[in-house]
Each structure stands twice: as C-alpha cells, then as structure tokens.
Amino acid sequence: MYMIGKEIIGQKYIPLTEVKKILEKQEKEFGELTYEQKVTLDYAKEFGKSSSKKVKEAINELTAMGIDEKTAVKIVDVKPTNKEQVKLIFEKIRFDLKEPQIKKILEIVQKL
C-alpha cells in the first residue's frame, strides 16, 4: 500500500525480503524507525532470509500456474514444507488445487 499523507494511492503485495529492504533503506535514510517498523523489520530479518532474486522467480512461477499474486507472496513467505501446509494456505480461497499442483508448489518453495 502506498500512501501520501492519509491517502492510499496504490496497493501491492510484497514478500518479506522486499519488506526488509524497504525498512533497512528507510532506517538508513531517516534514522530512527517507529516501534511498528522496528518490529516488522525484526520479523522480516528473521523469516525473510531467501534471496530477492529467488523469491521473485518463485512468485513468477507460482503466478504462471494461475495463483494470484497475494497467495504467491504468502507461499514464498510461509515456505510450506508439506502438502498439508500448502492446502492450509489455499483453504480460504476458491482455487481447485490438484495433487500435481501441490507437488509443483513444494518444488518451487524448495528452491528458496
């Protein structure tokens, strides 16, 4: 979500690796981060350890399978390790997930 003042001018889903870059850049440029930004940066450092290039490639592969961007970002952030975890990610959205697709998702995530 992009904001100028209190007006939202756009929205985009980004993986933790990008969140980490953005907040580190902001910290470097402006010094002190807010409490919420610090907590978010700590979380992103802990769980967003994959390379940005690999994450972008994985998101592209997932969206090429017909998975929406929001879910693709969630998959690369969560990094499911088994089919049950993949199914949990898709539980609330209407996406007819077949066994070969689950295997492909797990293969993509293993590259991260």
Q: What is the Cα–Cα distance from 14 to 107, expressed in whole angstroms?
A: 21
Tokens 């929205």 -> residue: 11
pTM value is 0.85
> Domains of the chain (ranges plus CATH)?
14-47 (no CATH), 52-110 (1.10.150.80)
Task: Give dist(CA 40, CA 43) in Å, integer.
Answer: 5
Tell me if 55 sits within 8 A of 17, measured CB to CB. yes
Please list the pLDDT of the chain residue by residue as tens digits (112 residues): 554 556 777 788 999 999 999 999 999 998 889 999 999 999 999 999 999 999 999 999 999 999 999 999 999 999 999 999 999 999 988 888 999 999 999 999 999 9
Tokens of 9: 């001018």
Which H or E run contains 95? none
